[in-house]
Amino acid sequence: MNSPELTEDENRGLYQRATEHGAEWWRVSVADRPENYRLEHGVDNGSGPGAVDIDLVVDAENLRAKLKKWRREGFAIDTDDAASEQSAAGRVAFMPELQRVAARASAAKCRQLEGAGATVRIGHVEVPCGFDNPLVPRLNPAYLFSERFNDIVEDIVENRRVMLIGHTGAGKTSLIEQVAARSRHGVLRSNMNGQTTVGDFVGFWTVKGGETLWVDGVLPTAMREGLWLIVDEIDFAEPSILAALTAVLEPHGRLVLKEKGNEIVTPHPAFRLFATANAVGAMSQFRHLYQGANLMNEAFLDRWRVYLLDYLTPAEEADVLIATLAPHMTRALATTLAAIAADCRAAFAREDLSSAFSTRRLLDWAELMLRTGDPERAAGPAIYAKVSPEDAALIRGIVRHHIAPAPEA
Ligand SMILES: Nc1ncnc2c1ncn2[C@@H]1O[C@H](COP(=O)(O)OP(=O)(O)O)[C@@H](O)[C@H]1O
Ligand SMILES: [Mg+2]
């Protein structure tokens, strides 16, 4: 039988399917005899293509039957030349190899940390401890470290520059503060959405008692003292501040104080630099909500690891409500309140609401509600007075949808 679709060129190649530990493959090549094909079979257990365990020669019709069977069994058909054979093998081999290498790297890091003094475990990550000082943020025992935060905490340990982006009240600042609180590192915060000048940030000369003195700004202070510096709302920073920052964005980047005769500030090993922003990168679509925010250029963003921090999930937020307002908050109440917050955020995402609904707002509302016993009255100062009348009406509707009025006494 001579089928037009079965030419040597089309059917030679590597056919493979993923297995638990790697891949199983069949290789089809042209046999010595005309109109015949050589089939080799092997298993890749994650350490390379493995030995050939079946080696046979079949005719075209037989091959056709095999191809059908392999397709049913989930083997992916690759094309025929040696290069793609190699790339197909590489494609399958990549993940097992990467996982092996990553496991080795993290084991090496653990060994390194063991020799380096006290650490505290945050999520999955061992974080080296600093020492008690007045700038260590207050620990919030109700703070919930989501699984998603592990990568961020690991970046902090590795001394990467971390930028957290997301809506107001999503938990950007508190994440860094709570890592610092647990590992006892002092934190300085500098908000760019205000009157922060390059003088406040880098430093300035002043006259005191007839003497001219240099005063370090927050950046050199944090660098010298080994503090963690959070540059809040970096998308509002003036260009001269961004220029000063750029120099220290490299892991061991030093700051040159031009105004102080080019004094060089070398970072203390414990120094860390963070930024938060509402409307850059993946959040750019919300720029209209954050009036005055600047676009950050890609070259600047590329110097950071940028994480988009979403609001907690309703289940996580219910846990936070219960933990924060223990022992009074019950699971049933918390679940309803978290669902209301989720609905308000969905309305915000649809642009039906113009104000975001932060975890802070939810906690505040819940706390006041426990005091007053009246969700509507509590919502006045916690929510309605902070938003437009239209937004207040919409939120009131969402609340009523979840909470029926109390039965008449
Ligand atoms: N994971 C969390 N666990 C507990 N509380 C949280 C969490 N995330 C946010 N919050 C609460 O929300 C508040 C606002 O978070 P914040 O870090 O100030 O937000 P952002 O910096 O994104 O505006 C925090 O003070 C905290 O009470
Ligand atoms: Mg903040």
| 6, pLDDT greater than 70 | no
The backbone torsions φ and ψ at residue 368, rounded to the nearest 5 degrees and listed phi first, read -70, -35
Report helix, strand or coil for 56.
Answer: strand
Segment 174-185 shows an average pLDDT of 96
**What whole-number distance in Å separates Cα of residue 379 and Cα of residue 374?**
9
What band does 405 get if pLDDT is binned at 50, 70 and 90?
Answer: confident
Nearest CA to ligand 1 atom 9: 171
Cβ count near 170 (within 10 Å):
23
* pLDDT band per the 50, 70, 90 thresholds, residue 99: confident
How far apart CA 279 and CA 166 sit, in angstroms, is 7
pLDDT in tens, 70-84: 988 888 876 555 556
Ligand nearest to the CA of 170: 1
**Rounded Cα gap, residues 147 and 142, in angstroms:** 16
Instruction: Tell me the CATH architecture of domain 129-308.
Output: 3-Layer(aba) Sandwich (3.40)
Is the shortest distance between the CB of 168 and ligand 1 below 6 Å? yes
Give residue 279's pLDDT band: very low, low, confident or very high (50, 70, 90): confident
Rounded to an integer, the average pLDDT of 318-322 is: 96
Q: How far is the CA of 178 from the centre of ligand 2 (A)?
A: 13
Q: Determine if ligand 1 sits within 6 Å of the CB of residue 176.
A: no
| Ligand 1, atom 7, residue with closest C-alpha | 171
* Residue closest to 219 by CA, chosen among 175, 174, 186, 188: 188
The confidence score (pLDDT) of residue 2 equals: 45
Question: Which of 145, 146, 149, 174 has the most ligand 1 atoms within 8 A of CB, as the residue to mutate?
Answer: 174
Distance CA 275, CA 163 (A): 5
CA-nearest residue, atom 20 of ligand 1? 169
Specify whether domain 8-90 bears CATH 2.20.140. Answer: yes
* Domain locations along the chain: 8-90, 129-308, 314-402
Indicate whether residue 312 lines ligand 1 (CB < 6 A): yes
Residue 384, pLDDT score: 97
What is the reported pTM? 0.74
Nearest ligand, measured from the Cα of 313: 1
Query: Which of 82-91, 178-187, 341-350 is the least confident region?
Result: 82-91
Judged against a pLDDT cut of 70, whether residue 216 lies above it is answered with yes
Ligand 1 contacts CB of residue 172 (under 6 A): yes
pLDDT for 8: 53
